Amino acid sequence: MIDFKREIAEVLATAVEGLTAEEIREIIEIPGDAKMGDYAFPCFRLAKTMRKAPQMIAASVAEAISQNPMFSRVEQVNAYVNMFMNRGEFIGHTVAAVAEEKDDFGRSDLGKGKLAIVEFSSPNIAKPFHIGHIRSTVIGNSIYKIYDFLGYETVRINHLGDYGTQFGKMIVAYRRWGNKEDVVKEPIKTLLSYYVKFHEEAENDPTLEKEARATFARLENGEPEEKELWQWFRDESLKEFMRVYDMLGIEFDSYAGESFYSDKMQRVLDELKEKNLLQVSEGAQIVDLEEYKLPPALITKSDGSSLYITRDIAAAIYRKEHYNFDKNIYVVASQQNLHFQQWFKIVELLGYDWAKDCVHVPFGLVSLEDGTMSTRHGRVVFLEDVLKGAVEKTRQIIHEKSIAKGRLSADEMEETAKMVGIGAVMFNELSNAKIKDYTFKWDKVLNFEGETGPYVQYTHARAATVLRSAEDTLAKALADPGAINTDHIASDSAYELAKLIYRFPQVVEDAGEKYEPSVITRHVVDVAQGFNKFYHDEHILVDDEEEKKAKLLLTYAAKQTIKNGLALLGISAPERM
């Protein structure tokens, strides 16, 4: 696909002094107001080298490039050169590129030869997979898809929380109040009830906490009975988690959790000792990070048991040696900012230069309308219930609007309800900047009006319907997209839509650079709105065959761009709604 910024920079380089074409490309702007042109070049930096006022330089540059066929017109406005593109060339190139690349439109080789690990989701075994987990799960999945699309070899890791004192508590609770039949019937809800009961009882009986720590110590030492119960809890939990992952269409390459690194932590302790980084404080072992304006990092407790930070360092070393990553991305809540700052710094102090390649992608927290969620007190909203609720509401809406009008069969309705309902929940999560905290509200999550997932999916289905109505003409247009007459799609609404489509590859790159899926979410909304305006302003299925071919090709390009954008968010694009 032509990089028009680069092409413009090459033209400008013939008319200015003191800047290379690459430097010019970096300072070319896209005006917020289309009336100011498609691209703008500020001339302030040239004043020193060309020894003229920026306004005078802009005037001479504008005159020098005004006859270039790439532009329909060039204007000087104060110190800016405002350039208006030749619409026919721009639109023709854009729709032809989409027609050729199809599902690969927007894909790049930016990460060719590099490997990126994305760690995301990572729920705790034997605890609910609740609405709070959706953020890491869908944000991480989208980041993985974006990096894959940018040409990286990618590895998806679900770093399960399957180790720690909490399992001592769970085992104690099961032995005191549990039974196998209930766990088999409803693993997570039953184990949650045991966990809640443990904390209720521990308020009156402090010895329970001591018993739990002793039980976990036996688990760490590989005692068969404790290990067997732990493995059973893990297996039953994974069955429940997999059901939710299947609903979301999410897969992982590795489920190696915290327990996987239990035999790899001694190496970390040994290396810390060798580097003289370990200190003893009240019986515990710490790394003093005061010099780096960070609090001390607790490495082992006074009883010798390990902590998250030790396991995370061991995991990072293993991943570097096993995968040789170029990026090691952790999609974990902003609550853990300090934790990541500490252990990234420790890895650096150990002499590993790849510490700089470890990236924490924080996100805001989810709370309930009546306060924060608490697993200990059983105050959670199960993610599976949210997804099922969304599908059910969508089913009702589709039944009213589609079945009654004969648009969808019963089977099509069911499949579409899943795509749209689950897509609505995922889109809601990805539509705002990830760092923002938010309150979970059923009404908001399941609102299908406005700039939502269902709106974008419906726009895709609308474009698909138009294309199905003229399949033969579309086939001719796709067979030779470079031959269409772009005069038929040079209107303002068509051009604005084409500009949004053209920007999609850069949007994907920006989203990857910022680790921010909402950049794509906002853009697909813009493309959907752009297409709906074009659809409203223009009659697409006209009698004139050449005009129809041009308009269908632009419709196809919009539909494909929406589909590719939704795919990067992990959301399906229905052909019918």
DSSP 553-576: HHHHHHHHHHHHHHHHTT----S-
Share of the chain above pLDDT 90, in %: 75
Looking at the chain, which residues constitute the CATH 1.10.730.10 domain(s)?
383-568
pLDDT at 470 over 80: yes
- Which single residue is written with the structure tokens 């032809």? 96
Position 254 scores a pLDDT of 97
Q: What tokens does 180 get? A: 């196998």
The per-residue pLDDT for range 506-536, each reduced to its tens digit, is 999 999 999 999 999 999 999 999 999 999 9
pLDDT band at 447 (very low <50, low <70, confident <90, very high): low
Give the tokens for residue 168: 């001592």
Which pLDDT does position 385 carry in this prediction?
Answer: 86
Identify the pLDDT of residue 434: 86
Arithmetic mean of pLDDT over the chain: 92
The domain 383-568 having CATH identifier 1.10.730.10: the answer here is yes
CA–CA distance, 106 with 561 (Å, rounded to integer): 8
Place of tokens 């609740």: 130
Q: Which regions of the chain carry the CATH code 3.30.1360.70?
A: 4-85
Q: Which two tokens stand for residue 69?
A: 């066929």
Q: Hey, which bits of 45-95 come out as E strands?
A: 71-77, 80-85
Q: How confident is the model at residue 376 (pLDDT cuts 50, 70, 90)?
A: low
Rounded CA separation 109/150 (Å): 6
**Predicted confidence band of residue 451 (pLDDT cuts 50, 70, 90):** confident
Cβ neighbours of residue 150 closer than 8 Å, sequence gap 6 or more: 107, 108, 110, 111, 508, 509, 512
Q: Which tokens is 287 given?
A: 């790394």
Question: In the chain, count of helices (H) and strands (E)?
Answer: 22, 12
Of the pLDDT bands very low, low, confident and very high (cuts 50, 70, 90), residue 257 is very high
Query: And the tokens for 394?
Result: 């969508």
Answer yes or no: is pLDDT of 375 > 60: no
- The pLDDT assigned to 393 comes to 87
Residue predicted with more confidence, 37 or 451: 37
Q: Average pLDDT, stretch 554-570?
A: 98
Q: Which of 182, 210, 177, 207 is nearest to 195 (CA)?
A: 177
User: Are the CB atoms for 445 and 390 separated by under 8 Å?
Assistant: yes
pLDDT value of residue 368: 65
Residue 348 has pLDDT above 80, yes or no: yes
Q: Is 441 known to be catalytic?
A: no
- Whole-angstrom distance, CA of residue 474 vs CA of residue 157: 42
Q: What is the CA radius of gyration of the chain?
A: 29
The architecture that CATH gives domain 4-85 is 2-Layer Sandwich (3.30)
Q: Where are the beta strands (DSSP E) in 322-427?
A: 327-331, 358-361, 366-368
- Asked if 4 and 37 count as a contact pair (C-beta separation under 8 A), the reply is no
The two three-digit tokens of residue 504, written as one number: 């999609």
SS3 content of the chain, % helix, strand, coil (to 5): 60, 10, 30
Beta carbons within 10 angstroms of residue 379's beta carbon: 14
Specify the pLDDT at position 372.
53
Backbone angles phi, psi at 82, to 5 degrees: -100, 125
Q: What is the pLDDT of residue 83?
A: 98
Q: Which residue in the list 127, 393, 551, 559 is annotated as catalytic? A: 127
Residue of 35, 112, 133, 499 marked active site: 133
Looking at the chain, the whole-number percentage of residues with pLDDT higher than 70 is 95
pLDDT exceeds 80 at position 366: no
Residue 130 is among the residues annotated as catalytic for this protein: yes
Closest by alpha carbon to 495, among 103, 91, 74? Answer: 91
How far apart, in whole angstroms, are the C-alpha atoms of residue 349 and residue 444? 46
- Bridge partners, 80 (sequence order): 42, 77
Q: In what order do the strands lie in the sheet with 153-157?
A: 153-157, 115-119, 327-331, 358-361
Helices 545-568 and 134-149 cross at an angle (nearest 10°) of: 130
The amino acid sitting at 32 is: G
pLDDT band at 442 (very low <50, low <70, confident <90, very high): low
* 405 pLDDT higher than 70: no
Tokens found for residue 153: 């070899």
Residue 103 has pLDDT above 90, yes or no: yes
Q: Looking at this protein, which amino acid is placed at residue 78? A: N
| 3-class DSSP state of 253 | coil
Which residue in the list 5, 48, 130, 227 is annotated as catalytic? 130
Average pLDDT over residues 14-37: 93
Place of tokens 């924060």: 372
What pLDDT shows up at residue 222? 87
